Structure 1
Amino acid sequence: MNAFDCFLINMVCILLPLLIYQVYKMHCHNLEKNEEELILYVMLTSSLYLLLKYGHFTETGIYQFAFVNLPILIAYYFRQKGFALLMSIFVAIYEAWNYPNFLFAGILTTIIYFVLYIWLEKKYQGQKLIQLFLIITMFVFTVSIASTYQEKPIVQLPQILLAMILLYGSTEGIIWIIQKGDDVLDLNAILKELEKEKVLRASLFQITHEIKNPIAVCKGYLDMMDLATNQKKMEYIPIIKNEINRTLVLMDDFLDYTKIKITPEIMDITLLLEELLRELKPLLKEKKVETKIVLSKDEIDILGDYNRLKQVFVNVLKNAMEARAPHRKMKLEITMKKSKNKVTITVKDNGVGMSKETLNRCGEMFYTTKTNGTGIGVSLANTIIERHNGTIQYQSEEGHGTTVTIQLPTA
């Protein structure tokens, strides 16, 4: 096998786990979760293991010593100096075991890498810290390797210099790949923020329009009150109150939507539904709603925000009751089903249902078919479920009712 093939195999051994870590970072970024440091440790360890197990090196050990330094330098790049020190100690022992003349080089690089990084970290930050660290470590690497060939260091000098160039170039290349991946994540974050800002601008424009209408109605009636009789004034006051209340509800809903904060904890979703249905029982009885409830007899734990999820189910049940069809007894069916790693809650009614257009626009901000609706409730419910890594789906047929299916991952 020629030198180039050996180089490629060694780089694949190092890069493969690190690329998997980049994919993991992107996944966490999309879910707006923090990365676990343990995953980084596993990937760096995997790079070192694959390199030692499947890497190809010369008999002198110079190139092996260069390549096994790569995961260590990458660990320092990720600012994991403690873990980098542990890897350095392991590499020093491994190299001394296989190449006894590398004992001094292993000890020297282990100590100097760590002390150098601690010293530079106090003086520099960001890219400058990494660049200075790499340049100085290359000098340390060259001196430490040369010291192992005390008798004829000049003879080995070309190999030592080539190993140093390979180490520096490979480290810079891997860092460049990692940085490009981080740039993509940063760009994605900027695009998300721009999209949020665009949605917020549209929402503010819409809510301004929505608030303007009831205010205009109130102003109109207030203008007429100056010339109206007492009887007319008494008729106008409830209308004005109703418009003001509608405006306040709209503003409260919008504030809820813009301040969604999820505080997840282990909770029993069955208990939540039981308590909610117990609270709604008087209202269901008053509305003469025939209910069929099938809940799990066992606890079903999920990682969720109790109050936010309760808000979702209140909204779904409220919408179902408000969709009552005239001249038809209201029926409401609530079922729960647990599978291997998720729980499915279904709310089915026999109300008026939705047209295809309404169903397609269901969840669109400010879209509503109700006289006093704000068009925010469904959108808010959708967002809360998404923040729980769940899904919410609507199936409806005009004149035949609506089915809402919510799926949440179990703990």
Structure 2
Amino acid sequence: MILLKEVILQMFFALTPFVLFNIYYRDRMRNYSRAFILVTSSICMFLAMTFATSVSEGVIFDIRHIIVFFALVYGGVRIALVLLIESALYRYYLGGEGIWLALLALVVTFSISLLMYRRYKASYRKTLYIFLTGALFSLVALGLTYLYFPTYVSHHPAYYLFVIPVQNFVGIWLLLSLFSKCVSDKELFIRHAQNEKIETMSHVAASLAHEVRNPLTAVKGFLRLIQENPENITKTDQYIRISMDEIQRTEAILTEYLALSKPLKERTELINVCDQLYVVREVMLPFANMHNVELELQAYEKPVTILANPDEFKQVLVNFIKNAIEACEETVNGKVSLSLFIEKSNAMLIIKDNGIGMDEGQIKRLGSIYFSTKTSGTGLGLTYSYHVIHAFGGSVSVSSKPKVGTKFTITFPYHAQP
């Protein structure tokens, strides 16, 4: 029974990188890094070797070979070498009569890992190579132990012929299969979220092209008037001033649009939500006009600052406002209102529309991947937005009624300006 507990504990340690990945990268728009593999593998290896299984004094068995192989697959040769040196030093520190056997086993299994990981990466039958690697690790452990300590094997045949293979087979299968599934799901989510952003930007760009054409037409008309009557200095100055204002407004909108379309960067800073709302409103106003929807903003009188990534926050605003506008496109006198206020040390942003609304079932599924109230939508825009809001310590609440409208209340921790 004690031995069974130790084996189960080793299986738990094997899941350490998988568990930490789901905790650390849950709300991040990027996948694992080599530094993450090194840190989590080191933690996993330290725990596994500290609480290793053993039936003979000084001869211990754990999942260190599996961790090195995992680091080789996801971190590369350099990371695996670091872990190999780490495990060798720690095993030397633990001591016991099986120390030289353990060091020899590390060299042999690392050579096997180098041979197998290239085939594992290139093959579509990854499960086969996972179990084959586990089998080779078990054979190395059994063969070397029998070579140096044959009496240990003969006195405990069940342990060496059953427990160690199960520990290797189940450990390597759990770690690599679950971690691989998480990594592929994260890549899929990031790819679809980026595609959703591109689609959103293309819709906004279509409305911007229409909106930019209006001031350009006005500027063209004023230039023609100046050309026809260049002697009238007063009128010419007036026409030039109006034309400059139109050009500057167009330039500001296009600048903010280009800033929104840039790749996101990992950073957080104090941002003024009021300023962000005014900027995004200017960008989204042409989109609202194209759908015959009024876009109203009631900002707070004083600066409302939160700690967030400005690029990600703008993208969140674009996603929510775009959805609200599209919900109102079939509504007579469609209206989307944005209001901002401070309540109990929180910045509260309310996005309200009088569009088609949602029922209770739709509200509960909001933010889920691939759920959308639009026939052609994927739902990833809101999924991404929910992830960003939660990553900044915020929350989202929704109230809606079919054919009445929807109200999103987004709450962020308020950070006063220093």
> TM-score scaled to structure 2, two decimals?
0.53
Whether 1:107 and 2:106 are equivalent positions in the alignment is no
CA distance in 1 between partners of 2:164 and 2:382 (Å)? 51
CA distance in 2 between partners of 1:145 and 1:389 (Å)? 54
Matching residue of 1:296? 303
Matching residue of 2:64? 71
CA distance in 2 between partners of 1:179 and 1:98 (Å)? 27
* 1:346 maps to which of 345, 350, 356: 350
**Matching residue's letter, 1:18:** A
Q: Does the 8 Å CA contact 2:68/2:80 hold for their aligned counterparts?
A: yes
Q: Does the 8 Å CA contact 2:350/2:410 hold for their aligned counterparts?
A: yes
Task: Quickly say closer, same or farther: Cα 1:295–1:72, change in 2 above 3 A.
Answer: farther
Task: Quickly say closer, same or farther: Cα 1:291–1:87, change in 2 above 3 A.
Answer: closer
- Per the TM alignment, residue 345 of structure 1 is displaced from its structure 2 partner at its CA by 1.5
- Per the TM alignment, residue 108 of structure 1 is displaced from its structure 2 partner at its CA by 1.7
Task: Quickly say closer, same or farther: Cα 1:344–1:379, change in 2 above 3 A.
Answer: farther
Matching residue of 2:141? 141
**Matching residue's letter, 1:334:** S
Q: Highest Rg: 1 or 2?
A: 1
**Matching residue's letter, 1:73:** I
Task: Quickly say closer, same or farther: Cα 1:385–1:97, change in 2 above 3 A.
Answer: closer
- The secondary structure found in structure 2 opposite 1:365 is coil
Q: Does the 8 Å CA contact 2:31/2:183 hold for their aligned counterparts?
A: no
Matching residue of 1:365? 374
Q: Does the 8 Å CA contact 2:137/2:168 hold for their aligned counterparts?
A: no
Matching residue of 1:311? 318
* Cα displacement string for residues 169-218 of structure 1 (whole angstroms, at most 9, x for unaligned residues): 211122344466469869999xx9xxxxxxxxxxxxxxxxxxxxxxxxxx
- The secondary structure found in structure 2 opposite 1:404 is strand
Q: Does the 8 Å CA contact 1:348/1:403 hold for their aligned counterparts?
A: yes
* 2:340 maps to which of 316, 335, 338: 335
CA distance in 2 between partners of 1:131 and 1:361 (Å)? 43
Q: Which has the higher contact order (CA 8 A, sep 6+)?
A: 2
Residues 78-227 of structure 1 aligned to structure 2 (within 5 Å): 79=73, 82-99=78-95, 101-122=97-118, 125=123, 126-146=126-146, 149=148, 153-159=149-155, 164-165=160-161, 166-178=163-175, 181=178
Segments of structure 1 that go 5 or more residues without pairing to the other structure are 193-259, 367-374
Q: Does the 8 Å CA contact 1:394/1:402 hold for their aligned counterparts?
A: yes
- The secondary structure found in structure 2 opposite 1:388 is helix
Matching residue of 2:223? none
- The secondary structure found in structure 2 opposite 1:364 is coil
Q: Does the 8 Å CA contact 2:7/2:53 hold for their aligned counterparts?
A: no
* Cα displacement string for residues 344-392 of structure 1 (whole angstroms, at most 9, x for unaligned residues): 422468xxx57877898797216xxxxxxxx98x979645634635665
Q: Does the 8 Å CA contact 2:48/2:64 hold for their aligned counterparts?
A: no
Q: Does the 8 Å CA contact 1:294/1:334 hold for their aligned counterparts?
A: no
Task: Quickly say closer, same or farther: Cα 1:73–1:338, change in 2 above 3 A.
Answer: farther
- What is the Cα-based RMSD across aligned positions, in Å? 5.6
Matching residue of 2:410? 406
Whether 1:388 and 2:388 are equivalent positions in the alignment is yes
- Per the TM alignment, residue 45 of structure 1 is displaced from its structure 2 partner at its CA by 3.6
- Per the TM alignment, residue 16 of structure 1 is displaced from its structure 2 partner at its CA by 2.2
- Per the TM alignment, residue 319 of structure 1 is displaced from its structure 2 partner at its CA by 8.0
* Cα displacement string for residues 48-72 of structure 1 (whole angstroms, at most 9, x for unaligned residues): 434454456445322x1x23xx232
**Matching residue's letter, 2:151:** V
- The secondary structure found in structure 1 opposite 2:349 is strand
Task: Quickly say closer, same or farther: Cα 1:21–1:294, change in 2 above 3 A.
Answer: farther
Q: Does the 8 Å CA contact 1:293/1:333 hold for their aligned counterparts?
A: no
CA distance in 2 between partners of 1:306 and 1:346 (Å)? 15
* 1:275 maps to which of 279, 290, 295: 279
- The secondary structure found in structure 1 opposite 2:15 is helix
Task: Quickly say closer, same or farther: Cα 1:332–1:387, change in 2 above 3 A.
Answer: closer
